[in-house]
């Protein structure tokens, strides 16, 4: 493009380390300075032969078209012959590699990624989530491409799920011990609902949803012209839910056996979270070359990660629908359970806790009250609690002791003899004089 033409025309050999394709620009400038010629750059629009005959075009335009055709033919020949692309350009004097991979653009991001990779490698191994050998087998490049193309909100959910910080009952119980750890779908009392349980829940609706997700994954793999051996292996591995290792899948070739060992180091749970083996991409790339397909194996790997994470996300959405959906009475599931328990507790106390004029609230049986709508249930609960408060207040008034000053704003809590109080008041007045003097001297005393 015109920007690349301008950057190539500069005489300085120094290229900014943040510049994309800095190695190509540096090589062009080096060759230009070495030639004993004055080179002038001119921008020529491409594909002009689409609207004008080749013979009627200028010589510079014809040369541009010829170069374009020769470059495409060389690229096709290179792929058919399956050559390894050269990393070093002609007249390139300085090369920077990170983990053996040449840095083509800015130097900072690859270095920061490598430092973060080493820290994460040790962290996951210390937590027992992923071994050091398994970490090295993961296709982190495909994961980076997938996360870069993911919206922010979905990326936040992926991070929370992988780290175990999603709002499961296990996590909610850590915040408040009143929250139950039982799964709201399968309701198995022996299982704690965490992020790993989302894929192993035995609820019938979630099992059916999982089977439909597996069918969708198989349809996508077929559309993407996936290698038949990979397609069979992935579907069997996903359907097994970690019961069988990838080595249990039929492996007829040496590459598939290496893939099985590599994926077994990573594990099934990590596989479903997008940590797939980099051997998948290698085998798929070879398959695309064999069938002369235009699909990209790198794009296939990142899309496979998206499909696996989508299967988990569907399970999470279904779980939230169960928790937050409205029941027949209009209440949410969790709120409805609390209201139901409260009604049962109030009915168990009976009408003896109420005054005679309020006992009509207990005329309806428990089964009938549970059939009411949510608003009516809440009104009934508040009415019964208010009636109980009235009875408690009346009982307190009857049993409270007789006080010497009933209209006093702060009555004393214990019974005192009226004669003793009167004698104490007279002694205070005799000492200080009138009531006015008592207030005045008391005020001075406090000051």
CB atoms within 10 A of CB 365: 9
Q: What would the pLDDT profile of 15-26 be if each residue is shown by its tens digit?
A: 777 777 788 888
Distance CA 103, CA 109 (A): 10
What tens digit of pLDDT does each residue of 206-238 get?
Answer: 999 999 999 999 999 999 999 998 999 999 999
Whole-number Å distance between alpha carbons of 329 and 333: 10
Among residues 279, 270, 132, which one has the least CA distance to residue 199?
270
**Average pLDDT of the residues in 93-104:** 83
pLDDT digits (tens, 9 = 90+) for 334-351: 788 888 888 889 888 888
Contact yes or no for 421/404 (Cβ under 8 A): yes
432 has a pLDDT exceeding 70: no
Distance CA 158, CA 150 (A): 10
Selection from 104, 106, 110, 108 nearest residue 23 by Cα: 104
State the average pLDDT over residues 353-365: 85
* Other beta carbons within 10 Å of 3: 7
Asked whether 305 and 313 are in contact (CB, 8 A), the reply is no
Instruction: Give the pLDDT score at 210.
Output: 94
Predicted confidence (pLDDT) per residue in 136-158, tens digit: 999 999 999 999 999 999 999 99
Spatial separation of the C-alpha atoms in residues 51 and 54, rounded to whole Å = 9
pLDDT tens sequence across 176-214: 887 889 998 888 889 999 999 999 999 999 999 999 999
Residue length, the chain? 447
pLDDT value of position 258: 92
Lowest mean pLDDT: which of 168-172, 225-229, 315-319, 429-433? 429-433
The yes-or-no verdict on residue 428 having pLDDT over 70 is: no
pLDDT at 439 over 70: no
Reply yes or no on whether the pLDDT at 52 is more than 70.
Answer: yes
pLDDT value at position 447?
A: 34
Among 5-9, 293-297, 435-439, the minimum mean pLDDT is found in 435-439
What is the percentage of the chain residues whose pLDDT exceeds 90?
A: 34
Both tokens of 150, joined, read 């993911």
Dist CA 297 CA 171 (whole Å): 38
């Amino acid at each position: 493009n015109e920007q690349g033409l301008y950057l190539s025309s500069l005489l300085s050999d120094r290229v900014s380390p943040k510049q994309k394709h800095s190695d190509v620009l540096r090589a062009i400038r080096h060759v230009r300075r070495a030639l004993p010629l004055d080179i002038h750059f001119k921008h020529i629009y491409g594909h002009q032969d689409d609207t004008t005959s080749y013979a009627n075009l200028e010589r510079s335009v014809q040369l541009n078209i010829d170069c374009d055709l020769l470059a495409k033919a060389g690229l096709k020949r290179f792929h058919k012959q399956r050559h390894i692309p050269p990393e070093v350009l002609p007249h390139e004097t300085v090369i920077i590699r990170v983990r053996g991979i040449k840095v083509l653009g800015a130097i900072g991001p690859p270095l920061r990624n490598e430092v973060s990779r080493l820290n994460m490698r040790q962290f996951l191994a210390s937590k027992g989530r992923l071994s050091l050998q398994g970490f090295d087998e993961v296709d982190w490049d495909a994961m980076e491409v997938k996360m870069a193309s993911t919206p922010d909100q979905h990326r936040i959910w992926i991070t929370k799920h992988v780290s175990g910080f999603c709002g499961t009952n296990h996590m909610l119980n850590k915040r408040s011990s009143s929250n139950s750890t039982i799964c709201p779908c399968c309701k198995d009392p022996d299982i704690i609902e965490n992020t790993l349980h989302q894929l192993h829940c035995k609820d019938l609706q979630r099992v059916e949803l999982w089977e439909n997700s597996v069918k969708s994954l198989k349809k996508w793999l077929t559309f993407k012209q996936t290698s038949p051996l990979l397609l069979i292996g992935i579907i069997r591995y996903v359907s097994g839910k970690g019961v069988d290792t990838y080595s249990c899948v039929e492996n007829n070739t040496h590459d598939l056996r290496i893939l099985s060992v590599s994926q077994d180091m990573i594990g099934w749970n990590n596989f479903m979270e997008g940590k797939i083996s980099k051997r998948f991409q290698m085998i798929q790339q070879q398959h695309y070359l064999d069938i002369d397909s235009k699909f990209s194996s790198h794009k296939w790997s990142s899309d496979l990660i998206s499909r696996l994470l989508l299967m988990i996300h569907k399970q999470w959405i279904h779980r939230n629908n169960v928790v937050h959906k409205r029941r027949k009475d209009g209440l949410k599931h969790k709120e409805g359970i609390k209201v139901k328990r409260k009604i049962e507790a109030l009915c168990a106390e009976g009408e003896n806790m109420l005054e005679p004029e309020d006992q009509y609230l207990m005329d309806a049986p428990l089964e009938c009250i549970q059939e009411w709508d949510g608003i009516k249930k809440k009104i009934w609960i508040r009415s019964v609690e208010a009636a109980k408060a009235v009875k408690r207040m009346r009982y307190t008034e009857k049993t409270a002791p007789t006080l010497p000053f009933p209209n006093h704003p702060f009555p004393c809590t214990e019974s005192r003899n009226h004669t003793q109080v009167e004698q104490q008041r007279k002694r205070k007045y005799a000492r200080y004089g009138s009531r006015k003097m008592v207030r005045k001297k008391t005020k001075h005393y406090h000051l």
